[in-house]
Chain A
Amino acid sequence: AQSVTQLDSHVSVSEGTPVLLRCNYSSSYSPSLFWYVQHPNKGLQLLLKYTSAATLVKGINGFEAEFKKSETSFHLTKPSAHMSDAAEYFCVVSDLGSSASKIIFGSGTRLSIRP
């Protein structure tokens, strides 16, 4: 069975400091993993994806994530937070196309940036 756990519902950091948003997953298959960002009153926008290639994935706006199979984690990081990063972030696991054929969204992490 698939599941996604975002370990923090809210993260607050100061502008210019590193960001860490944590995500753990479980899947019976070899899933694809994604991070999406949602700004207020907008749809979700893809930040980055992992699809069994390089374990360190670089995305847009300076974000990156590392796939660690042994820890079943896919944490999102950014070296230096910017005010415009304030948004909701979703970790997603997808088995679409396999016999499981599921896509599961995490519960989201709200990122706040302090001036």
Chain B
Amino acid sequence: DAGVIQSPRHEVTEMGQEVTLRCKPISGHNSLFWYRQTMMRGLELLIYFNNNVPIDDSGMPEDRFSAKMPNASFSTLKIQPSEPRDSAVYFCASTPGRNSNQPQHFGDGTRLSIL
């Protein structure tokens, strides 16, 4: 069984550039989560989707960040324009449903460095 797949694993780009992170959830999972992990702030939930619909985006830091889920097997997190403070590891996770008792399955993350 393939787990959650994220791409790219590493991204280095200059500030001001557009960055797109990609995620493929586990087949059959209908909830998808985007997280950001930094030393200073730990692991933060940015947004989550259920059945491709955004449910809670209150964690999205600002308008430079946007996320989409055009279908059940693909999601993107976009930063435009990027800034050095966006440097972090971004994780995607999925669960079979929306209930609180379901554990999340995490991808291996995208390590983003903005110069």
Contacts and interface: CB of A to CB of B under 8 A. Distances in A.
A85 interface: no
Contact of A43 (B42, B44, B48, B107): B107
A22 B48 CA distance: 28
Contact of B103 (A34, A95, A97): A34
A55 interface: no
Contacts of B104: 44, 46
B30 to A, nearest CB: 13
B100 A31 contact: yes
What is the predominant secondary structure among interface residues of chain A facing chain B? loop
A43 B91 contact: yes
What is the predominant secondary structure among interface residues of chain B facing chain A? strand
B45 interface: yes
A22 B98 CA distance: 27
Interface size class of B (residues with CB under 8 A): 20 to 34
B99 to A, nearest CB: 4
A102 B58 CA distance: 10
Contacts of A107: 42
A98 B55 CA distance: 12
Interface in B60-115: 91, 93, 98-101, 103-109, 111
B18 interface: no
Given A43-B91, A107-B42, A97 B100 contact: yes
Interface of A: 31-32, 34, 36, 41-46, 49, 51, 90, 94-98, 101-103, 105-108
15 contacts: A31-B100, A41-B111, A43-B4, A43-B93, A43-B106, A45-B106, A46-B104, A90-B43, A94-B100, A101-B55, A101-B56, A105-B42, A106-B42, A107-B42, A108-B42
Interface of B: 4, 33, 42-45, 48, 55-56, 91, 93, 98-101, 103-109, 111
Given A46-B104, A96-B100, 15 more contacts: A41-B108, A42-B109, A43-B108, A43-B109, A44-B91, A44-B93, A44-B106, A45-B106, A46-B103, A46-B105, A49-B103, A94-B101, A97-B99, A97-B100, A106-B42
